[in-house]
Amino acid sequence: MIHPGATLGVIGGGQLGRMFTVRAREMGYRVVVLDPDIGSPAGTIADQHLAAQYDDPTALEQLAGACQAVTTEFENVPAGVLDRLADRIAVRPSAAAVAIAQDRILEKRFIRDHGFPTADFHPVASAADLDLAWQRIGSPALLKTSRLGYDGKGQVPVDTLDEAAEALRHLGRDCILERRVDLEREISVVLARGADGMIACYPPGENVHVRGILSTTTVPARVSPALATEALGIARALADALEYVGVLGVEMFMTGTEGLLVNELAPRPHNSGHYTLDACVTDQFEQQVRALAGLPLGETRLLTPATMLNLLGDLWRDGAPPWDRLLALPGVKLHLYGKRHARPGRKMGHATCLAASAEAAAALARRAAQAVGAVTASPSPASSG
């Protein structure tokens, strides 16, 4: 057990690292951030910022020497870096778990090997592979990079083999061809698992995407109790199978004919769990600190229904958004991430909209979006991957 007063490390200086750093410091820990960006959101508030590449030998030596344990804020940290650090200090989650989650092919095979369904898929490393993949998957489909894709990046919807071939040339790396499924809803389960195997789950959240980027998450998800229980069971089982330690996000598709399909694993706090900062007894970033330090996990009870609304860089097109209009709405909480430059599609912050029911929270989020000019969409059946 690593007690307050010790130093914790986080690889990655984005908003997830920033929110981890805030919680860790509130709990009495010092924090060292490793991130190459000298103005990174987490690095600017950490006790120490190592402005270096993630695999820089000198920086890793400094990180290991200063910290009692290290975590990550994104899944694309080279697994070899985590292995190297694990020779010196506690690293949570493990390199093995992160390596599975950062490769879509390994990830989907892992999920299926443990008895859970995914959308049909086929690896594609060459044009020859694509012909076979198309025979097996067919249309409609998504061609995705096997690594490094997020927020709709690194994936192209395709309806013909010619479109798939052009997409493969454009993506230019190992890919996966995946069948697009008929969605009723997309949900996610965020959980924390301790080194002792104890698991604390948050209620399933209902997610809506706009242009491939998460727009809103509403909790509790408007699904049947039986389906919510099934989703929680799947997430728990996958966390156990990974021997995971830390906060894990499990994304799932709710379909009309195939039931629940597991989409992706995120080995870190998840965008769909940001509502926990305002709506739960213990938020996901405090859980990350607790799991990393070997402390007992906190209670995940939902105190009030909520909808999380992402605030993207598009809102800054004419200057700073009118925050006064947003904050004039009762029940709305604003979180900004300290990023210096606003770009279209870049996550600059979020608002949590608290209300007496999930429906009321979702309606409040629509009003909040309208107040600042954000684009949202209502959950409805759609084809997606």
CATH homologous superfamily of 120-179 equals ATP-grasp fold, A domain (3.30.1490.20)
Pair 123, 112: CB distance under 8 Å: no
The domain defined by 7-91 folds into Rossmann fold (3.40.50)
Burial 92-116 (b: 16+ CB within 10 A, else e): bbbbebbbbbbbbbebbebbeeeeb
Residue 380 pLDDT exceeds 50:
no
When mean pLDDT is compared across 127-141, 276-290, 312-326, 357-371, the lowest value belongs to 127-141
Does residue 11 carry a pLDDT above 90?
yes
HSE-CB at 17 with a 13 A cutoff on CA atoms is: 32
Q: Which helix (H) or strand (E) holds 60?
A: helix 57-66
Dig out the tokens for 21 from the structure: 């750093």
Express the helix, strand and coil content of the chain in percent, nearest 5 each.
35, 30, 40
- Residue 257 is predicted with a pLDDT of 85
Whether residue 382 has pLDDT greater than 80: no
Please give the CATH architecture assigned to the domain spanning 182-384: 2-Layer Sandwich (3.30)
153: pLDDT strictly greater than 80: no
Domain ranges for the chain, please list them. 7-91, 120-179, 182-384
- Percent of the chain residues topping a pLDDT of 90: 86
